[in-house]
């Protein structure tokens, strides 16, 4: 059995709960093998006790509510759990790259006020992490559809109202950017 970090188990549990909202389990024992299947874990990767311990830790940290009713265990994600799930989504975010480029450029500009400097720098860092190329200090270019991701990042940092997304059919120095994105 390979050992998986408890944080990966906790993340898997929150993701499953985020998709389902509430899970009801008829429990025979606290570390029932049912938990593994419900949360998408295979017997070879996870110890059932590790999943149980992760659930208890998530409950202690108020990320999930666990209640008993009529011999069944009800596991529900809390508001704090949903916030943590957003953090996971943010950390794991990637922009899908289609097989064929549509020939359009996505230009993202922002003018985040000085009083929100940390959010502005975090926004800039995340865009670079996602593969955007910086054209100017607060102006980035990307060749693929990214509206949902930009909206999510803007909302995550609470600066969406300061972001502008432009779709263009051509840009200056286009050959340079095509080369940088591997489109040439």
- pLDDT tens readout for residues 7-50: 777 777 777 777 666 666 555 444 444 554 555 555 555 666 77
Residue 58 has pLDDT above 80, yes or no: yes
pLDDT tens readout for residues 111-164: 999 999 999 999 999 999 999 999 999 999 999 999 999 999 999 899 999 999
Mean pLDDT of the region 88-93 = 85
Mean pLDDT of the region 51-55 = 79
Rounded CA-CA distance 151/153 in Å is 6
């Amino acid at each position: 059995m390979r050992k998986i970090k408890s944080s990966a188990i906790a993340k898997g549990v929150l993701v499953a709960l985020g998709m389902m909202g509430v899970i009801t389990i008829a429990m025979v024992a606290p570390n029932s093998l049912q938990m593994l299947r419900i949360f998408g874990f295979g017997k070879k990767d996870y110890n059932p006790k590790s999943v149980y311990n992760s659930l208890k830790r998530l409950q202690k940290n108020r990320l999930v509510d666990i209640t008993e009713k009529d011999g069944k265990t009800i596991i529900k994600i809390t508001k704090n759990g949903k916030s943590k799930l957003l953090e996971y989504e943010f950390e794991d975010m990637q922009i899908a790259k289609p097989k064929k480029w549509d020939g359009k450029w996505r230009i993202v500009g922002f003018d985040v006020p000085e009083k929100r400097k940390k959010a502005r720098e975090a926004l800039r860092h995340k865009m670079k992490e996602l593969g955007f190329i910086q054209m100017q200090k607060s102006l980035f270019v990307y060749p693929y559809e990214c509206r949902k991701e930009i909206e999510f990042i803007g909302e995550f940092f609470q600066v969406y109202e300061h972001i502008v997304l432009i779709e263009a059919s051509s840009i200056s120095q286009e050959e340079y950017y095509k080369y940088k994105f591997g489109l040439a």
